[in-house]
Amino acid sequence: MSHRTLAGAGLVIGYERTRPVLDGATLTVPAGRRLAVLGANGSGKTTLLRCLSGALRPLAGTVTLDGVPLAHSRRGLREHRQVVQLVLQDPDDQLFSASVAQDVSFGPLNLGLPEDAVRSRVVEALDLLAVGHLAGRPSHQLSFGERKRVAIAGAVAMRPCVLLLDEPTAGLDPSAVADTLAALTRLQEHDSTVVMSTHDVDLALRWADDVAVVVDRTVVQGPPEDMLGNDALLARARLERPWALTVGARLRALGLLPEGTLPRDAAGLLAALPDRPGVPT
Ligand SMILES: Nc1ncnc2c1ncn2[C@@H]1O[C@H](COP(=O)(O)OP(=O)(O)OP(=O)(O)O)[C@@H](O)[C@H]1O
C-alpha cells in the first residue's frame, strides 16, 4: 500500500439543499498519519466521512485524492473505493454473510481476485485485527466488539490506503478499546492512513497525530494539543478539554512537571512525574 493524500475543500454536505449539515468544510487527511475527527452528537462526523468515502455526493466543493477530484461516476467511485474504505459505526450495517470469513472475503471477491488471493487477504485482515480465531464463526453470533473488529477487517481486506472509521471504539469496554487501538497501530505500520471519528476527547489526545474538530457546520484542523487545549473552540463544539491537559497544566504550575511536558494519558503522566525516594511508583 502506498500513501495517498485525501482532502476535502469547501464541502457543502447535507440531506436537504436548504439546510446543509456542513457548509464550507475543508480538511486534509495527512498521508500515513492518524487523524481524529472530533465533534458532538449530530455535528456531522458521519456525514463528513460518508462524503470523503464517496458514499455521499457534496452539494458543493470537492473531494480529492492526491489533488485529483473524485468523479461521482460508477467508474470514479469504484476506483475511489479501492483506495478509501469507510467502516460504519454499526457493524450490522456491514456484516450479512453466513460466516466471518465470508463477510471479510466479500469485497476482494467483488474485485474479481482469484480465490487464493482472496483467501490470503482474508487471513491477513483477520490477523491484523486479531480475530483470526473467529474465521469460521457465524458473524451474527459474535459479541458487539468482535463484530466491530470483523467489520474493520472487511474493509482492511480491500487493502485501502485510507481507512475511515466511524466511531470504532463506541460501545466497547476498555480492553476492547485497547485491542482496537493496537489493531489500528498495526494497520498504520502496514502503511494505512487511519481516520477515526469520535466524541471522546481523551481518546483523541492519546491516539491522534492530527485533530479535525467539526464545529459550527465547518471543520477546524490542527495539532491535538492546539485543538484540544483551545477552550473557546471546545465550547463552540460542545466538547470538553481532555483531563490530561488540565492535570498536566496544574502539575506544571505546581512545578511538579517540567515546562513543555505534555502528557497525553495516565501512562505519560506517570512517566513524566519525578521520582521521590520512599514514594512507590
Ligand atoms: N440520512 C439522513 N437524512 C436526513 N438527515 C440526516 C441523515 N443522516 C444524518 N442526518 C442529520 O445530519 C446531522 C448530522 O448527523 P451525523 O450522523 O453526520 O452526525 P454525527 O456527528 O456523526 O453524530 P453522532 O455522534 O450522534 O453519531 C444530524 O442532524 C442528523 O439528524
Please give the average pLDDT of every successive group of 10 residues along the chain, which has 281 residues.
88 92 96 95 97 97 96 94 94 88 94 93 93 93 92 94 95 89 88 93 95 97 96 97 95 89 90 80 69
Strand order in the sheet with 218-222: 84-87, 162-166, 193-198, 34-38, 210-215, 218-222
**Percent helix, percent strand, percent coil in the chain, to nearest 5:** 40, 20, 40
CATH code of the region 6-91+161-241: 3.40.50.300
Tell how far the Cα of 47 is from the centroid of ligand 1, in angstroms: 6
The atom of ligand 1 lying closest to the CA of 167 is 27
Which triple of cell numbers denotes residue 220?
A: 477546524
73 lines ligand 1 (CB under 6 A): no
Nearest C-alpha to atom 28 of ligand 1 is from which residue?
42
What pLDDT was estimated at residue 187? 87
Q: Is 211 helix (H, G, I), strand (E, B) or coil?
A: strand
What pLDDT was estimated at residue 122? 96
Mutating to test ligand 1, I would choose from 11, 12, 21 the residue with most ligand atoms within 8 A of its C-beta, which is 21
Mutating to test ligand 1, I would choose from 19, 45, 165, 198 the residue with most ligand atoms within 8 A of its C-beta, which is 45
Please check whether residue 194 is in contact with residue 166, taking contact to mean a CB–CB distance below 8 angstroms.
Answer: no
Phi, psi (degrees; rounded to nearest 5) at 173: -80, 170
Whole-model pTM: value is 0.93
Every domain range in the chain assigned CATH 3.40.50.300: 6-91+161-241
What pLDDT was estimated at residue 1? 57
What pLDDT was estimated at residue 105? 95
Nearest C-alpha to atom 31 of ligand 1 is from which residue?
42
46 lines ligand 1 (CB under 6 A): yes
Tell how far the Cα of 114 is from the centroid of ligand 1, in angstroms: 39
43 lines ligand 1 (CB under 6 A): yes
Please check whether residue 222 is in contact with residue 193, taking contact to mean a CB–CB distance below 8 angstroms.
Answer: no
Cα atoms in the Cβ-side hemisphere of radius 13 Å centred on 268: 14
Please check whether residue 59 is in contact with residue 14, taking contact to mean a CB–CB distance below 8 angstroms.
Answer: yes
What pLDDT was estimated at residue 158? 93
Tell how far the Cα of 26 is from the centroid of ligand 1, in angstroms: 18
Tell how far the Cα of 233 is from the centroid of ligand 1, in angstroms: 21
Which triple of cell numbers denotes residue 45?
A: 462526523
Angle separating helix axes 100-110 and 144-156, nearest 10 degrees = 20
What pLDDT was estimated at residue 100? 95
Nearest C-alpha to atom 7 of ligand 1 is from which residue?
15
CA 193/CA 29 separation, integer angstroms: 8
The atom of ligand 1 lying closest to the CA of 39 is 21
Q: Which residue has the cell 502496514?
A: 190
What pLDDT was estimated at residue 274? 80
CA 63/CA 65 separation, integer angstroms: 7
What pLDDT was estimated at residue 107? 92
